[in-house]
Amino acid sequence: MTTNVNPTRTDTKLKKQVAEQNTQIGNLRSRLNEIVDDMAILQSDLNRFKKNVSKDLLEVIEALKEK
C-alpha cells in the first residue's frame, strides 16, 4: 500500500474549510460570551429596577396612609 505524499485538491479544500469553520466557531463563541455577559447585566438591572419600584410603591402607600 502506497501513501500519497502530495495533498490532493480535496484534502486542501477540506483543510481550508476546517480552518474557516474553526474561525467561525471562535467568532460565535466570542459572541455567545458577549451575549451571556449582556444577559447578566440586564438581569442585574432588572432586579435593581424591581427593588426600586417596590421601594417607591411602599413610600407611596405609606404617604397615602398618613393622609
Residue 21 included in any domain? yes
Which pLDDT score, from 0 to 100, does residue 1 have?
Answer: 53
Residue 1 included in any domain? no
Tell me which DSSP letter residue 7 carries: P
Residue 46 included in any domain? yes
Tell me which DSSP letter residue 27 carries: H
Domain that holds residue 47: 9-67
Residue 28 included in any domain? yes
Task: Name the domain count of the chain.
Answer: 1
Residue 13 included in any domain? yes
Measured distance CA(21)–CA(27) in Å, rounded: 10
Instruction: Please write the tens of the pLDDT for every residue from 32-59.
Output: 999 999 999 999 999 999 999 999 999 9
Residue 50 included in any domain? yes
Measured distance CA(16)–CA(35) in Å, rounded: 29
Whole-structure pTM value: 0.66
Instruction: Please write the tens of the pLDDT for every residue from 15-33.
Output: 999 999 999 999 999 999 9
Residue 14 included in any domain? yes
Provide the grid cell at 6. Answer: 502530495
